[in-house]
Chain A
């Protein structure tokens, strides 16, 4: 286990009471609405907040144990924290900002590694600039580089994209993906954006009202396994050939046609919202939808007038939100064969 977290902390009328573990490597998303306690958890992990009770073990090091009276201060925790608002030192150049943590790190990166990080984040041309002369996206990249160059044991990203507009966000996401793919340290990614989580995370800890409501792999969790509300399915797919302005994506269970273009062979993640799937018992004909997948129903969960239907197509899982009336009219039950008519596929990039 790379991280074991148990925190109990009360302030005002809000109580944070969470416990979860995160496996080594990969991206663990802390996902939930504003006020779910995400930032408090990050602050507790980093040592900027001292919970009334709790125990945190990071990469085998106990950094907090209130029972034993142990509290490792932030400057000794070796945690790279990227704040929502970048927090670059305004009186230092980009280069000095980048090397601030490096200078103080007990395990300094070599000049080669520094150069690699700088080029990974595309910072070569920014080094001499002052932070006030950077765009929002550039600031985020510098903050990310600064945290990485301190050679942390764990990287915490606290909504690093929240203060950016859609265009800037789209600019940063590929950098984060590259980082995820090469980083050998566990990354905690805090977000309230489904897109970001579906695109970057391997595991998800769902939070609401200061509690963990579910935790598991991104593929299971977003499809509703263990969670109260399914958000949709996330599939991993590989780009194949292009034809008539449509690209074929191959996944474990079939193919999807999308309008986004990716180089053939490229791995991408696609998300299919629970409200973007229609269910038919017979193969529909004369329909505008490009993607109709034969599926087998795995479970039906009734919730008043609504129902959530889980299906599988090969090994890929899909989930659809329909009415209870449709469920009984179509006779939807486990193991029944059906067709999933997919209205929209969101390609999250790879």
Chain B
């Protein structure tokens, strides 16, 4: 591929890796949160607020907060390092954490909408046919909420690809480790004569975003047909 330099390809692959791992890691939690939010319980408004918080939180402030918490000299970060050997700061796994937190609301929102639109009658039918709670969740509820799951995952993935502030504050801008596409664009702009590279990477980002949008629509149409809705 002559269009991209090895450094740029590295940044692209790293972005894809971080975004997909972030979506995959956050998904079970998003499903659990959405299931909780789809019913009524005391404190629902509070939980809803907390889940939505990343949407309005300044990413740089969030990144700083993560740095304080997960820094190896910080409370939780030190504990994780000493007992499990897990280090998040200045690692790509830290970027995954930051991306997962910031795209969590997208996943929860989409899954929750799908769950709230579900037909409760099918759940009742499954119960009378002998299916317990987990059984119904796996075989009825989630398959029927699949369009919502897919839509949420794609939106979150696209959002994760663009995450900048939290990543650069929390895990810095290390080539091959935490320098994702947006950070690579920023770096190029900081380099004298890097405008052409920044333009190429920006174009790449835009094309990527557009492809995901198209892909999302296709997948949505397919799953919608399959579930007969």
Residues in chain A within 8 A of chain B (CB atoms)? 46-48, 73-81, 83, 85, 87, 89-91, 100-101, 104-105, 130-132, 146-147, 150
Contacts and interface: CB of A to CB of B under 8 A. Distances in A.
Given A87-B121, A89-B140, A104-B135, A146 B129 contact: yes
B116 interface: no
B220 interface: no
A48 B226 CA distance: 29
A85 B121 contact: yes
A234 to B, nearest CB: 31
A131 B127 contact: no
Contact of B130 (A75, A89, A130): A75
B75 interface: no
A185 to B, nearest CB: 15
Interface residues of B, number: 22
Nearest to B144: A91
Interface in B179-222: none
A132 B227 CA distance: 9
B198 to A, nearest CB: 46
Contacts of B126: 89, 100
A145 to B, nearest CB: 12
B143 to A, nearest CB: 5
B128 interface: yes
B32 interface: no
A91 B138 CA distance: 13
A208 B126 CA distance: 30
Interface of B is mostly: helix
A131 B135 contact: no
Nearest to A96: B139
A73 B135 CA distance: 14
Contacts of B228: 90-91, 130-132
A75 B132 contact: yes
17 contacts: A46-B128, A48-B124, A48-B127, A48-B128, A74-B127, A79-B128, A83-B125, A87-B121, A89-B122, A89-B126, A100-B129, A100-B139, A101-B129, A104-B131, A146-B129, A147-B128, A150-B130
B39 interface: no
Contacts of A87: 119, 121-122, 124-125
Nearest to A48: B124
B121 A83 contact: yes
Contacts of B131: 75, 100, 104
Contacts of B127: 47-48, 73-75
B2 interface: no
A81 to B, nearest CB: 4
**Which of A73, A90, A150 has the most B CB atoms < 10 Å from its CB?**
A90
Contact of A74 (B121, B122, B128, B135): B128
A81 B127 CA distance: 10
Interface string B98-132: 00000000000000000000010110111111111
